[in-house]
């Protein structure tokens, strides 16, 4: 993504946790993996990847939960809003849920990932590349 000085803010539903992310995200993608679907109780979720040093929690701190080996997920302990994903697989990134930002419409998703785990009744017509696992895999 292009370099930018932009700062985007966001937080949980109840407002107990607020954060800001500086600069352009490293990437924005829709994730269809089972774990992300279960975390959000939705057909897929959309993340923006940032360097951890570009994300600041302004008020409150996410409660952390080890959802699987090497994976920590952050959420608001008061209202339960899912906020972040961190993994040993990508140690220099924090993935923030795009819809937890105040203005999610400013993000432009670039791909669908983990489509091999997508629910079979979901049929999307967008032209974005689809990857069976990560974006390092050829588009499916």
Q: Which domains does the chain have, with CATH numbers?
A: 7-117 (2.170.150.70)
pTM of the model: 0.91
Strands 27-31 and 111-113: parallel
Distance, in Å, from the CA atom of 18 to the CA atom of 81, rounded to the nearest integer, reads 11
- pLDDT tens, residue order, the chain (140 aa): 545 679 999 999 999 999 999 999 999 999 999 999 999 999 999 999 999 999 999 999 999 999 989 999 999 999 999 999 999 999 999 999 999 999 999 999 999 999 999 999 999 999 999 999 987 755 55
Tokens of 89: 């697989």
Is residue 58 within 8 Å of 20, Cβ to Cβ?
A: yes
Is residue 2 within 8 Å of 83, Cβ to Cβ?
A: no
């Amino acid at each position: 993504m292009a370099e930018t000085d932009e700062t985007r803010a966001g937080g949980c539903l109840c407002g107990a946790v607020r954060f800001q992310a500086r600069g352009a995200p490293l990437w924005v993608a829709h994730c269809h993996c089972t774990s992300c679907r279960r975390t959000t109780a939705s057909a897929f979720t959309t993340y923006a990847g940032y360097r951890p040093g570009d994300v600041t929690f302004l008020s409150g701190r996410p409660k952390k939960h080890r959802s699987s080996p090497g994976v920590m997920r952050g959420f608001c302990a008061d209202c339960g809003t899912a906020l972040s994903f961190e993994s040993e697989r990508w140690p220099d990134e924090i993935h923030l849920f795009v819809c937890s930002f105040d203005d999610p419409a400013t993000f432009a998703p670039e791909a669908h990932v983990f489509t091999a785990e997508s629910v079979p009744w979901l049929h999307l017509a967008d032209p974005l590349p689809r990857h069976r696992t990560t974006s390092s895999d050829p588009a499916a």
